[in-house]
Structure 1
């Protein structure tokens, strides 16, 4: 006679699922000047808004940071050849607009932390 494998209890299954979900959140890429708690809020907003995607805030912030760091702040040329995806070819002003949308969607505490980073770049711009 073969022994049947015991059935796992529903609570055990739910607990394991919750742990896997939390672990995915632990893989967040850091943003300088933003706490881990704010990073979790940013990830939550990116998951729930249709105009954002996973990593959108970090990518947009990086693009805005590179643009501000350039000498002379090269202006975006609409007639420039390239693909139509602004993240690929790099329209920093659209990236800044996306950051503003994310800032408005975030809870006050997380928005305040990200706003401090963005405002520092805006002052240099």
Structure 2
């Protein structure tokens, strides 16, 4: 599992807990989605992304950053308030770059 930088150990525990209990998440889903979103917003050509580009339907395979961002939002909504606040701060800092 890749680490989620910028959150406390307790929030990491809560992330693992929801990844194990939600059917739309898997082990490491939040870290993978965060890495994909972070990589996308850091690219200078990010504004050239075409949402309707054809490609694989498995978004982690081809790396659909918008789906990764949606996954992060689902995780934030599933987390307890304190953990959600920490993860939301990390995600919103990236959103500000985008």
1:77 CA drift (Å): 4.5
Largest Rg, 1 or 2: 1
Hey, what's the Cα distance between the residues in 1 that align with 2:3 and 2:37?
16
SS in 2 for 1:54: coil
Higher relative contact order (CA 8 A, sep 6+): 2
Match for residue 79 of structure 1 among 53, 56, 79: 53
5+ unaligned residues in a row in structure 1: which ranges?
1-27
Q: Normalization by structure 2: what TM-score?
A: 0.91
| CA RMSD of superposed structures (Å) | 1.3
Equivalent residue for 1:55?
A: 28
Cα deviation digits, residues 62-104 of structure 1 (max 9, x gap): 0000110000313145333x32210010110010001000000
Runs of 4+ in 1 over 3 A off after TM superposition: none
- Work out whether 1:106 is the aligned partner of 2:79: yes
Q: Normalization by structure 1: what TM-score?
A: 0.73
